[in-house]
């Protein structure tokens, strides 16, 4: 079973690689690109490779089928100090309903700050703001001992100055646990939906749909977990995420990761060597976990994330 599952992952990765060679004429044409940016300090410290693990509250974002792995009411709240003073946050909650069914909900926002408004002569007309918001409701169910399936319905809303737009979307996900109880495989199809209202009456944009497959494995006899994701955005090229988590020093947990998407931020400078690199740690205290992550965007700078999660 394990060999067949690994071969399936390799096959699907090769298929996605071949598909990605097509001309991506849709690059930069989608709305609500904040939906592409991962949430939670733990997952981001692991290079955003979380689809094949999805074992905490951020599964609401990465792979909704993972929320059924939580057997207690739990929450996670995170803050992201993004590039150019952009700020974002995430609040997620998972509610076990039965032995096989869990529900969840989340809210995610991006605040892009204030901008100066000028007319065509360069006269200052004041300032305006911009922001994005996403609200999601998730359902996941366990089928048998090894298979989980889930979905998340979400509403998306964006504003810029006096203009606004909104959309509806759905995420689909699956998670398969091998009999060794140390290996998981997952998939997710996120942001599948339509923009109901654009920023102008005559124009709407597609959503940033993305398909991902992931793999996670805890080493036998070693306190080390590693994860791998392969992602294909519908509007861009394929990329890969890698991550690891070392928990030999509990209550301190060390994490590191890398994303090939970091190649998009390279500028032929010395900072290119760090593009896509992520580092972080977590600290366990009673029923809570405190997480921190740093992500390098080469010369664009670094991004800091903090999260607090726990059971209720």
In a domain? residue 279: no
Instruction: Tell me the Cα Rg of the chain.
Output: 20
In a domain? residue 298: no
* 246 within 8 A of 253, measured Cβ to Cβ: yes
Q: How many whole angstroms separate alpha carbon 191 and alpha carbon 152? A: 10
Predicted TM-score of the model (pTM): 0.89
Mean predicted confidence (pLDDT) in 178-205:
94
14 lies in which domain range? 2-22+33-112+128-242
Q: Is the pLDDT of residue 11 over 60?
A: no
Q: How many whole angstroms separate alpha carbon 198 and alpha carbon 158? A: 9
Read off the tokens for 30.
């989608």
* 290 within 8 A of 45, measured Cβ to Cβ: no
**Domain total of the chain:** 1
Read off the tokens for 255.
């994490």
In a domain? residue 85: yes
Query: Which residue in the block uniquely carries the two structure tokens 């074992």?
Result: 55
Quote the percentage of the chain above a pLDDT of 90: 74
Query: Which residue in the block uniquely carries the two structure tokens 């990605």?
Result: 20
For residue 3, with 0-12 CB atoms within 10 Å meaning exposed, 13-18 middle and 19 or more buried, which class applies? exposed
Long-range contacts of 163-166 (CB under 8 A, 24+ apart): 163/199, 163/200, 164/197, 164/199, 165/31, 165/195, 165/197, 165/198, 165/199, 166/195, 166/196, 166/197
In a domain? residue 160: yes
In a domain? residue 59: yes
Single out the residue of 217, 266, 272, 224 nearest to residue 245, CA to CA: 224
Mean predicted confidence (pLDDT) in 136-159:
97
Burial 267-305 (b: 16+ CB within 10 A, else e): eeeebbebbbbbbbbbeeeeeebbbbbbbbbbeeebbbb
pLDDT bucket at 286, cuts 50 / 70 / 90: very high
Entry field: residues in the chain: 312
pLDDT of amino acid 285: 97
pLDDT of amino acid 83: 83
- Residues in contact with 21: Cβ distance below 8 Å, sequence separation at least 6, in sequence order: none
Q: What is the pLDDT of residues 219-258, one digit of tens each?
A: 998 999 999 999 999 988 999 999 999 999 999 999 999 9
Q: Going along the chain, which residue ranges are E strands?
A: 74-81, 87-96, 101-118, 124-143, 147-160, 163-177, 183-197, 210-218, 224-233, 239-249, 252-259, 277-285, 288-296, 302-311
Q: How many whole angstroms separate alpha carbon 50 and alpha carbon 60? A: 11
Q: Domain of 48: which CATH number?
A: 2.40.160.60
Q: How many whole angstroms separate alpha carbon 291 and alpha carbon 46? A: 12
In a domain? residue 122: no
In a domain? residue 294: no
C-alpha dihedral (260, 264, 267, 271), degrees to nearest 10: -40
Q: Is the pLDDT of residue 124 over 80?
A: yes
Which residue would you say has higher pLDDT here, 238 or 7? 238
In a domain? residue 303: no
pLDDT bucket at 305, cuts 50 / 70 / 90: very high
- Residues in contact with 104: Cβ distance below 8 Å, sequence separation at least 6, in sequence order: 57, 59, 60, 64, 67, 92, 93, 94, 95, 136, 137, 138, 139, 140, 152
- Give, rounded to a whole angstrom, the gap between the first and last alpha carbons of the chain: 37
């Amino acid at each position: 079973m394990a060999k067949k599952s690994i071969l399936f992952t390799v096959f699907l990765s090769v298929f996605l690689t071949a598909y990605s060679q097509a001309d991506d004429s849709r690059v930069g044409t989608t709305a609500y690109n904040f939906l592409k940016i991962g949430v939670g300090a733990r997952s981001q410290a692991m290079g955003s490779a979380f689809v094949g693990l999805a074992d905490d509250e951020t599964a609401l974002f990465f792979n909704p089928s993972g929320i059924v792995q939580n057997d207690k009411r739990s929450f996670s709240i995170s803050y992201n100090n993004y590039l150019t003073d952009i700020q974002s946050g995430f609040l997620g909650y998972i509610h076990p309903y039965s032995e096989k069914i869990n529900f969840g909900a989340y809210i995610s926002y991006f605040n892009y700050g204030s901008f100066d408004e000028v007319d065509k002569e360069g006269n200052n007309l004041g300032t305006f703001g911009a922001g994005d918001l996403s609200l999601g409701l998730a359902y996941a169910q366990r089928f048998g001992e090894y298979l989980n399936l889930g979905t998340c319905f979400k509403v998306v809303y964006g504003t810029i100055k006096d203009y606004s737009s909104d959309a509806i979307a759905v995420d689909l996900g699956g998670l398969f646990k091998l009999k060794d109880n140390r290996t998981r495989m997952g998939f997710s199809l996120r942001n599948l939906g339509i923009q109901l209202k654009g920023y102008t009456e005559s124009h709407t944009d597609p959503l940033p749909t993305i398909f991902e497959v992931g793999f996670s494995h805890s080493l036998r006899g070693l306190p080390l977990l590693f994860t791998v994701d392969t992602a294909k955005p519908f509007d861009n090229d394929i990329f890969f995420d890698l991550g690891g988590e070392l928990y030999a020093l509990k209550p301190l947990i060390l994490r590191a990761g890398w994303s090939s998407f970091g190649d998009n931020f390279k500028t032929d400078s010395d900072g290119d060597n760090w593009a896509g690199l992520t580092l972080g740690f977590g600290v366990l205290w009673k029923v809570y976990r405190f997480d921190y992550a740093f992500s390098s965007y080469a010369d664009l700078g670094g991004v800091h994330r903090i999260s607090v999660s726990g059971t209720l």
